[in-house]
Structure 1
Amino acid sequence: MEKIVVESFTMDHTTVEAPFVRRCGRIETPKGDIITKFDLRFTQPNKEIMPTGAVHALEHLMAGFIREEIADVVDLSPMGCRTGFYLILVGDRQEEEIAKAWINALEKVMLSEEVPAANPVQCGNYRDLSLFGAKEYAGEVLEKLKASYL
C-alpha cells in the first residue's frame, strides 16, 4: 500500500511564527485545473488556541468576506487545532495575493455588527458564536499582517 503523507503533518509547528500565510498545497486535476491550498494561521501553534466561539464566528464572517476579496474560493475551513484556517481556491495563487485579501476581509470583520447565519436554520451550532472573540483575534492578527505584507 502506498504511504500517504498529510502535508500539514510535515510542517514543524515549533518553528513557525504566527500570524502568517503559507501556500501549503497545489494540485493539478486530470483536466489541468489548478487548486491551491493556503494556511491562514492566526495564533502560535501549541501556545495560543482560539476559543471555539471565536473560531466559529470568524468562519461565518470570513466565509463571505474572503469571497468578496478574491475569486474562485472553494472553501474556507477552520483547523481542528483552532489556530487558523485553510483556504482552498481554484487557480495558481501566491501568498502575497492571499495575504492582501485576508487583510481586507479582517478589516470587514472589525466593522461587523453581527455574525451572518447565526440562527438554527443556517447553522448547526448557532449558539456557539462570539462576535467579540472574532473581533479580538481579527484585530490582533490584522496589525501583524499589515506589518508583514503591506
Structure 2
Amino acid sequence: MKKIDSFQVDHSRLKRGIYVSRKDTVGSEILTSFDIRTKLPNVEPAMEIEAMHTMEHLCATFLRNHDDWAKKTVYFGPMGCCTGFYMIFHGDYVSKDVVGVIQEMFKFMSDFNEEIPGAGINECGNYKSHDLEGARQEAKKFYKEVLSNLKEENLNYPE
C-alpha cells in the first residue's frame, strides 16, 4: 500500500504556518495544495467544529471573490484533525507566494461581522453548526501569533 505523503510529516515537530503539502500534475497543469496549520498538532486543543465550519465558509467566499486568486482557487476546506485547512490553487507555487493572500484572508475573518455567507438552511448541509465569534477569535490568534511574524520554520515542513 502506498504511503500518504502528509502522514510522513513529523507532526511532533510541525509548527503553525503555511506549507506546500503536495503538487499534482493534471495533464500539463500543476495544482499546489497548501497545509494552513493554525494549531500545534497534539499540543494545542483542536479547533471547535462550529468555528472551523464558519472559517471554511468565510475563506471560501473570500478566495472566490479575490481579484487575483479567484480564478486560481480550486478548493478550500478543513482538515479532519481540526488543526488547520487545506487550500488548493491552480499553478506551481511555494509557500511564500501565498503569504499575502492568506494574511488578507485571516484579516478579513478577524474583522468579519456580517451574516455568514452560505450559512442558511437552503445553502448549508449543517446550517446550525456555526460560530462567528469563535471563527473571528481563531483568525485573530493565528494572524497575530503566526502570520504577522512568519519565519522559515513556518513555511517549510520540518526535515
Indicate if the aligned counterparts of 2:15 and 2:37 stay in contact, CA closer than 8 A: no
Letter in 2 for 1:120: I
Structure 2 CA distance for aligned equivalents of residues 106 and 65 of structure 1: 10
- Any stretches of 5+ residues in structure 1 without a counterpart? none
How many residues are paired up?
145
Could you tell me how far 1:92 is from its partner in structure 2?
0.3
Between 63-72 and 43-52, the greater mean CA deviation after superposition: 63-72
What's the counterpart of residue 65 of structure 1?
A: 62
- Any stretches of 5+ residues in structure 2 without a counterpart? 152-159
Could you tell me how far 1:66 is from its partner in structure 2?
2.6
Q: 2:39 aligns with which of 37, 43, 50?
A: 43
Structure 2 CA distance for aligned equivalents of residues 66 and 139 of structure 1: 18
Could you tell me how far 1:51 is from its partner in structure 2?
0.3
Structure 2 CA distance for aligned equivalents of residues 126 and 47 of structure 1: 30
What's the counterpart of residue 121 of structure 1?
A: 122
Structure 2 CA distance for aligned equivalents of residues 94 and 146 of structure 1: 18
What's the counterpart of residue 97 of structure 1?
A: 97
What's the counterpart of residue 8 of structure 2?
A: 10
Question: Aligned Cα RMSD in Å?
Answer: 1.3
Higher relative contact order (CA 8 A, sep 6+): 2
Question: Following TM superposition, where does structure 1 have runs of at least 4 consecutive aligned residues deviating by more than 3 angstroms?
Answer: none
Q: Secondary structure at the match of 1:118?
A: coil
Provide the TM-score with structure 2 as the length reference: 0.86
Q: Secondary structure at the match of 2:59?
A: helix
Deviations 1:1-53, CA, capped at 9 Å, x for gaps? xx3221210101000111x0000101112x21111111001111112200001
Structure 1 CA distance for aligned equivalents of residues 43 and 121 of structure 2: 33
Could you tell me how far 1:65 is from its partner in structure 2?
1.2
Deviations 1:89-117, CA, capped at 9 Å, x for gaps? 11001201212111101111122113111
Q: Secondary structure at the match of 2:110?
A: helix
Could you tell me how far 1:74 is from its partner in structure 2?
0.6
Q: 1:55 aligns with which of 52, 64, 78?
A: 52
